């Protein structure tokens, strides 16, 4: 069971690439790439028209990673994670440098540590079944930047698998408030690291790769999990789940948003049943209390705004009554030295 989507805030100009989504009996691959519009805002002329460096970078990186990972993944041998991370770093950087040379852009006179040539994030999940027909899977993670990979388990819920490459090393809740600068990202002109880690998972589970447009505009990490699972609960099939999730993300995000989701060990209806208890627990323990507090806060803010308006109006009325006496000696007849 799988689906992916890419939601651009401006049609045809979204800087996230389409996600990678491949699945087989023994292997799985999902990945997302978020072109960094701030750092990669330089516009280049291309045969398809003007494109930002961020737009181009995410697509170049996507194509290279898919090509390399398809070549490296083999159900009959275990993936060498560190070697693969090094291979991806070399291959992607070489492709970005080649693309930059093809663009023949004049060197910019503006120098800033925040500007990069063809910058993008990446988050890649590669799955290999540990043994044929078994439930255990090796999950290799490769990433650079602040796009994320998650696993959703029926008993444990959502668990973040990658570590955000940002300057302020807060937790996922703090990162929603601070909007820290990305400290490590793929690019053509700066050094970067492709991180790797390996975890072992037991089916059934969901793996999700997502850019920050999917999880960076919700009130809390719990709300992101609920966004995914509530859409699953209410969807009769996988296409409906994807459509509902896209609608939910679009309603809250302020950015492009891409996601790839792969379910291992069950079909859509079974996943709905498996996550029903977790979805109810989310709503009872976290979502409803937080949403109730937010509703109370909005009501108090509304009343406070009303009090401020009433104060301004009453202040104006009282000043109008007080002003004539206060300015009695300021009239023109009492001014000396005036022409």
Do 228 and 244 touch, CB atoms closer than 8 A? no
CATH numbers and ranges of domains, the chain: 2-291 (3.60.40.10)
**Among the listed residues 114, 226, 221, 209, the one whose alpha carbon sits nearest the alpha carbon of residue 174:** 221
Q: Strand (E) positions, 171-313?
A: 195-202, 205-210, 257-264
Higher per-residue confidence, 85 vs 176? 85
Return the pLDDT at 25: 84
Return the pLDDT at 10: 86
Gap between the Cα atoms of 1 and 77, Å rounded: 24
Return the pLDDT at 49: 87
Per-residue pLDDT tens digits for 211-254: 999 999 999 999 999 999 999 999 999 999 999 999 999 999 99
Cβ-proximal residues to 166 (8 Å cutoff; 6+ apart), any chain: 146, 175, 180, 181, 182, 183
Task: Tell me the percentage of the chain whose pLDDT exceeds 70.
Answer: 94
Return the pLDDT at 106: 60
DSSP 42-55: -EEEETTEEEEHHH
Gap between the Cα atoms of 306 and 160, Å rounded: 42
Return the pLDDT at 63: 97
Return the pLDDT at 333: 61
CA distances (Å), 102 to each of 44, 46, 63, 161, in order?
11, 10, 17, 36
Do 237 and 243 touch, CB atoms closer than 8 A? no
Dihedral over alpha carbons 164, 166, 171, 172 (to 10 degrees)? -60
């Amino acid at each position: 069971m799988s689906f992916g989507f890419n939601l651009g805030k401006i049609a045809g100009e979204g800087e996230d690439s389409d996600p990678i989504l491949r699945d087989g009996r023994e292997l799985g691959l999902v990945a997302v790439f978020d072109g960094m519009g701030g750092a990669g805002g330089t516009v280049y002329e291309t045969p398809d028209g003007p494109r930002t460096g961020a737009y181009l970078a995410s697509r170049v990186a996507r194509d290279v990673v898919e090509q390399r990972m398809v070549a490296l993944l083999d159900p009959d041998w275990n993936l060498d994670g560190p070697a693969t991370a090094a291979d991806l770093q070399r291959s992607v950087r070489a492709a970005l440098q080649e693309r930059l040379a093809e663009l023949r852009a004049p060197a910019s006179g503006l120098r800033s540590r925040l500007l990069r040539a063809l910058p993008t994030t990446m988050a890649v999940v590669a799955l290999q079944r540990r043994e044929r027909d078994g439930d255990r899977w090796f999950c290799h993670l490769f990433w650079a930047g602040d796009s994320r990979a998650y696993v959703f388990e029926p008993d444990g819920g959502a668990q973040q698998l990658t570590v955000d490459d940002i300057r302020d090393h807060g937790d996922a809740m703090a990162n929603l408030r601070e909007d820290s600068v990305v400290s490590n990202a793929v690019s053509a002109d700066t050094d970067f690291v492709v991180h790797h880690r390996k975890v072992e998972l037991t089916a059934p589970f969901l793996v999700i790769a997502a850019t920050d447009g999917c999880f960076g505009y919700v009130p809390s990490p719990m709300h992101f999990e609920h966004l995914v699972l509530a859409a699953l609960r209410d969807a009769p099939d996988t296409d409906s789940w994807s459509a509902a999730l896209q609608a939910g993300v679009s309603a809250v995000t302020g950015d492009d948003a891409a996601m790839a989701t792969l379910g291992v060990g069950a079909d859509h209806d079974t996943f709905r049943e498996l996550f029903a208890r977790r979805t109810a627990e989310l709503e009872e323990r976290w979502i409803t209390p937080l949403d109730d507090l937010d509703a109370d806060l909005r009501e108090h803010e509304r009343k406070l705004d009303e009090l401020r308006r009433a104060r301004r109006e009453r202040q104006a009325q009282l000043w109008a009554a007080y002003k004539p006496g206060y300015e009695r000696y300021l009239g023109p007849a009492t001014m000396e030295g005036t022409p």
